[in-house]
Chains A and B, each alone.
Chain A
Amino acid sequence: MLERAATVDAAKPRDAAAGIERVEVAAVNLPARRSQYQKHEKVYPKLAHGTFRRIKWLALSGMLAIYYAAPWLRWDRGPGFPDQAILVDFPARRFYFFFIEIWPQQVYLLTGLLIVAALVLFLITSLAGRVWCGYACPQTVWTDLFIAVERLIEGDRAARIRLDQGALTAVKVAKKAAKHATWIAIAIATGGAWVFYFADAPTLARELAAIEAPTVAYLFVGVFAAATYLLGGFAREQICTYMCPWPRIQAALQDEHSLIVTYRTDRGEPRGPLRKGESWEGRGHCIDCNNCVAVCPAGIDIRDGHQLQCISCALCIDACNAVMSKIGLPRGLIAYDTLENEVRRAHAEPARYRWLRPRTVLYAGLIATVGVAMLAALLLQSDLDLTVERDRNPVYVLLSDGTIRNGYTLKAINKTYATRTLTLALDGPPGARVAIVGGESREPATFTVEPDKLRSIRVYVSAPAGVLTRDATPIRFTASDAAGAATVASAVQGPKR
């Protein structure tokens, strides 16, 4: 392909229409052209201009800004607690997100969040196809960023091809060096931003710079930097074509009513360069200028139809619309459309769009249900939690006066940022008494729990001889203070009856 492009480049370019240069480009990522055994053919995406390119720039800058800046946001939680708004604190086993603090046992909230995210992805995919792939996937975003850097330093498509094919000059070396240096800088910043989510960002930044940070921090920066550099700089569309399961999965989420990027065959064919003075009668609107192929970062030709390699980035729409505007034809030869409408247009029926379909209604309903359940779980959570583990070895202890004693480990979680002194009360068989082993006070049984901490206490429940009439008698522990109470059920066991 490169050889062909070179020979054509040397000759005078053939125009596709007056003022529209025909791009000599082949869809290198076509299944027919791909082989495990041949060398990968590099894609040189040309810069597109238009609505979708602008949307992509906005999405890219917005998401990258959030990614790089979020760890630096501060949120005051009082003395002794991290003031980072978003922090995954592995050593202390806490996840902080602004006013939300999640303990490991609340990981179901994260599960719920992932379920909602998956369902939203399902809904969007069934409505508008691979929006995720085209605009939001990190692979797409960073590849786009890396291509932008490449374009800035080496020039657009034609200049890049020329540079790659040209002799090794000082200019080439300088440009390549500048490009790779910028890529590596971005890659390191990417890995660097990642580790800031797991430690206090300003502290870690200082430590990283002073070579005092923990080895694991450098390791993660290195792994993420290497992955970003390789995936954004070199692997690019191959990740989507070969490695990613999502293109395969999304086939099951889309149907004939989902939006996809399509080429309107009924309007475009038969295609061919428009000769001077040629009329549009009896021919299609596609002037075969190949701009849609040239801008494609996946290296495909959208005119071959819907295909797995297409990430629905819509840059071919921008490229084609620009050409259509220039030659005075209506835009939308390549556009978001549905498979159903392709068929309807072929039968000269009007296009129609069905947003409300059983699957979209189902997805929306599930999102609402899970979302409400999650919100309820988050808002109704108590700031005091009590769990109990009854001793199983020994199950019970017979004391010399015939009293049956059971041992328990009670765990009280104080989720407030203040120390709490809790009174432990027992609701059990008559005469049964509760005592905290080494408690602050025996009567009433009280214990304190430090702010944002779990306290584990040993507790004995003693039932006088003859009180227990069953193998296991249900009991309830209640830990309370003025601000609230938590109750947990257990049992007191005695000899088999």
Chain B
Amino acid sequence: MTAERDPQTGIETTGHSWDGIKELNNPLPRWWLWVLWVTVIWAIGYWIAMPTWPTITGFTGGLLGYSQRAVVADELEAAKAVHAPLNARILATPLDRVRTDPELLSFALAGGRSAFLVNCAQCHGTGAAGGKGFPNLNDDDWLWGGTLADIEHAIRFGVRSGHAEAREGDMPAFVKDQLLSEAEAWQIVYYVLDLAVGAPKRDSPAAQLFADNCAACHGADGKGDAKLGAPNLTDAIWLFGGDRNAIYASVAQSRRGVMPGWQSRLDEATIKKLAVYIHALGGGR
């Protein structure tokens, strides 16, 4: 069959005619047609080789058995395998020696930072700067001591976490428990404010109240005691705020911050890495 040609252009027509208008048969350029067929073949190959079609209970797996989940799992395993020897060395090395081994130190700092961001940053902040009631871990003021061992202990067992080994500071709620009157509590507040700037009124009734009620834990000079978790009242750092209302609230109602213990949630190597990381933030002793 010879195709009809359009007399104007000399191009073949498709033979279709609408209201006397005929369609010219301008086929696709060849390379374009080839590209189409290549994509079709590619698609069929892809269906066979890769996971594509959903089924009622799952999907067709494909001959190559490719799975992004498996890839991620493999990568995690590979990362674990890479870290395994270093983690083993961290476990076998005492904390203070981790600090002096450059390779272990850099591994501990990197791992400690990751663990910190996942587990600790919720309360202490991503930069470990803390907030009201949550200690700033960058500074040199430590309620329970700032040595590597102190820090590791705090991470492992927490503060008032309910664990037998946990730190248990126990400041009385002087007003709430009617140990002191409100007026006496205020006297102590003003005495402590003077103490903080280094000018306590030594022979005042307030001084006597402080000596009777506070000095047992905070010391006669107010410098605190890390064994009891009693804060130093003479320094510039106030965990719950340093103005008179905040101090009164502390005296009247006590403060009972809680930190969970991480021994049951983190592995040994991670706890050690966290201790090294926090110690290295700038305030470790």
List, in ascending order, chain A residues with CB within 8 A of B26's CB.
Answer: 37
List, in ascending order, chain B residues with CB within 8 A of A405's CB.
Answer: 138-139, 282
**Looking at the complex, which one of B30, B129, B235 makes contact with A394 (CB distance below 8 Å)?**
B129
Q: Kindly identify, within residues 153 to 180 of chain B, every residue whose CB is under 8 Å from any CB belonging to chain A.
A: none
Q: Kindly identify, within residues 444 to 474 of chain A, every residue whose CB is under 8 Å from any CB belonging to chain B.
A: 460, 465
Alpha-carbon distance A405/B139, docked complex (angstroms): 9
Pair B141/A460 contact, Cβ less than 8 Å: no
Pair A397/B236 contact, Cβ less than 8 Å: no
B48 contacts partner chain A, Cβ-Cβ < 8 Å: no
**Looking at the complex, which one of A392, A397, A437, A465 makes contact with B136 (CB distance below 8 Å)?**
A397
A400 contacts partner chain B, Cβ-Cβ < 8 Å: yes
Alpha-carbon distance A405/B140, docked complex (angstroms): 11
List, in ascending order, chain B residues with CB within 8 A of A437's CB.
Answer: 280, 282
B65 contacts partner chain A, Cβ-Cβ < 8 Å: no
With A36-B29, A407-B282 as contacts: A400 and B127 at CB distance below 8 Å = no
A278 contacts partner chain B, Cβ-Cβ < 8 Å: no
With A399-B139, A400-B140 as contacts: A391 and B127 at CB distance below 8 Å = yes
A401 contacts partner chain B, Cβ-Cβ < 8 Å: yes
List, in ascending order, chain A residues with CB within 8 A of B30's CB.
Answer: 39
B126 contacts partner chain A, Cβ-Cβ < 8 Å: yes
Pair B127/A399 contact, Cβ less than 8 Å: no
A439 contacts partner chain B, Cβ-Cβ < 8 Å: no
Q: Kindly identify, within residues 425 to 453 of chain A, every residue whose CB is under 8 Å from any CB belonging to chain B.
A: 437
Q: Kindly identify, within residues 358 to 416 of chain A, every residue whose CB is under 8 Å from any CB belonging to chain B.
A: 391-394, 397-402, 405, 407
**Looking at the complex, which one of B126, B128, B140, B280 makes contact with A399 (CB distance below 8 Å)?**
B140
Q: Which partner residue on chain B sits nearest A392 by CB separation? A: B127
Pair A394/B236 contact, Cβ less than 8 Å: no
Q: Kindly identify, within residues 32 to 65 of chain B, every residue whose CB is under 8 Å from any CB belonging to chain A.
A: none
B87 contacts partner chain A, Cβ-Cβ < 8 Å: no
| B contact residues, total (Cβ < 8 Å) | 21
Pair B125/A400 contact, Cβ less than 8 Å: no
**Looking at the complex, which one of B127, B129, B138, B235 makes contact with A401 (CB distance below 8 Å)?**
B235
Pair B235/A400 contact, Cβ less than 8 Å: yes
**Looking at the complex, which one of A36, A37, A392, A397 makes contact with B282 (CB distance below 8 Å)?**
A397
- Range of interface residues on A (Cβ < 8 Å): 10 to 19
With A37-B29, A394-B136, A407-B282 as contacts: A400 and B129 at CB distance below 8 Å = no
List, in ascending order, chain A residues with CB within 8 A of B250's CB.
Answer: none
Alpha-carbon distance A402/B196, docked complex (angstroms): 11
Pair A37/B27 contact, Cβ less than 8 Å: yes
With A37-B27, A460-B282 as contacts: A400 and B136 at CB distance below 8 Å = no
Alpha-carbon distance A465/B140, docked complex (angstroms): 15
**Looking at the complex, which one of A39, A393, A400, A407 makes contact with B237 (CB distance below 8 Å)?**
A400
With A399-B236, A401-B235 as contacts: A394 and B127 at CB distance below 8 Å = yes
Alpha-carbon distance A436/B235, docked complex (angstroms): 25
List, in ascending order, chain B residues with CB within 8 A of A465's CB.
Answer: 236
Pair B282/A398 contact, Cβ less than 8 Å: no
List, in ascending order, chain B residues with CB within 8 A of A400's CB.
Answer: 139-141, 232, 235-237
Pair A393/B140 contact, Cβ less than 8 Å: no
List, in ascending order, chain A residues with CB within 8 A of B128's CB.
Answer: 394
Alpha-carbon distance A173/B235, docked complex (angstroms): 95
Alpha-carbon distance A36/B33, docked complex (angstroms): 13
Distance in angstroms from A105 CB to nearest chain B CB is: 24
List, in ascending order, chain A residues with CB within 8 A of B29's CB.
Answer: 36-37
Pair B282/A393 contact, Cβ less than 8 Å: no
List, in ascending order, chain B residues with CB within 8 A of A397's CB.
Answer: 129, 136, 138-139, 282-283
Pair A394/B140 contact, Cβ less than 8 Å: no
With A37-B27, A399-B140 as contacts: A393 and B129 at CB distance below 8 Å = yes
List, in ascending order, chain A residues with CB within 8 A of B136's CB.
Answer: 394, 397-398
- 20 further interface pairs, Cβ-Cβ under 8 Å (given A398-B237, A400-B235, A460-B282): A36-B29, A37-B26, A37-B29, A391-B127, A393-B125, A393-B127, A394-B128, A394-B129, A394-B136, A397-B283, A398-B136, A399-B140, A399-B236, A399-B283, A400-B139, A400-B232, A400-B237, A401-B236, A405-B139, A405-B282
The 6 closest A-B pairs by CB, nearest first: A393-B127, A394-B129, A400-B235, A402-B236, A397-B138, A400-B141
Q: List 15 A-B contacts (CB under 8 A).
A: A392-B127, A394-B128, A394-B129, A397-B129, A397-B282, A398-B237, A399-B140, A399-B237, A400-B141, A400-B237, A401-B235, A405-B138, A405-B139, A405-B282, A407-B138
